[in-house]
């Protein structure tokens, strides 16, 4: 009888742990991340890149924003989490979900990329980034 209680307790703990992971719980911070935190994580990831992929532009040098607040003040409707059609999240790998490597969320940012053209003039072009996140906000 004690064996079955022990096994049942272990299974209950595992199901709880994997269930929370599947739901997007961040164990490192012991909480769920807000949508703003998810958007900030993706923005910081995209903004920190030296070069961003842009159509029809030969390797432009990205001019970074000072902060997320600067970008959101200029483009308040830029970002969303799981916006739905046409940005539906494709099915994820079940093991990635239960181990927290994929939260099941997609963050869509219409990022206004700033760069210098061949004449040294500041240019801006919109580029959509779809990023998937781990449970604690690390973009993939």
The string of pLDDT tens digits covering residues 33-66 is: 999 999 999 999 988 887 666 666 666 677 889 9
Mean pLDDT of the chain: 86
User: What pLDDT digit, counting tens, does each position of 110-135 carry?
Assistant: 988 888 777 888 888 888 888 889 99
User: What pLDDT digit, counting tens, does each position of 58-91 carry?
Assistant: 666 778 899 999 999 999 999 999 866 566 556 7
Residue 7 has pLDDT above 80, yes or no: yes
Spatial separation of the C-alpha atoms in residues 96 and 104, rounded to whole Å:
9
For the chain, helix (H) and strand (E) counts, in that order, are 4, 4
C-alpha distances out from residue 27 to 5, 18, 19, 39, 75, Å: 26, 11, 12, 19, 32
Q: What pLDDT does 57 receive?
A: 61
Domain boundaries along the sequence of the chain? 2-132
The tokens for 35 are 């949508």
Provide the whole-model pTM: 0.83
Q: What pLDDT does 38 receive?
A: 95
Tally of CA atoms within 13 A in the half-sphere of 98 that contains its CB: 8
Q: What pLDDT does 120 receive?
A: 80
Q: What pLDDT does 49 receive?
A: 80
Residue 17 has pLDDT above 70, yes or no: yes
């Amino acid at each position: 009888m004690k064996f079955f209680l022990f096994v049942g307790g272990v299974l209950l703990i595992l199901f709880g742990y994997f269930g929370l992971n599947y739901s997007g719980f961040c164990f490192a911070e012991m909480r769920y991340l807000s949508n703003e935190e998810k958007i900030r994580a993706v923005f910081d990831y995209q903004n920190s890149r030296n070069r961003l992929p842009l159509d029809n532009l030969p390797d432009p040098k990205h001019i970074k924003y000072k902060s997320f607040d600067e970008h959101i003040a200029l483009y308040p409707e830029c970002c969303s989490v799981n916006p739905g059609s046409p940005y539906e999240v494709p099915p994820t790998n079940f093991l990635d979900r239960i181990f927290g490597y994929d939260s099941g969320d997609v963050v869509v940012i219409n990022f206004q990329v700033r760069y210098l053209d061949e004449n040294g003039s500041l240019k801006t072009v919109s580029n959509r980034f779809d990023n998937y996140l781990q449970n604690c906000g690390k973009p993939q």
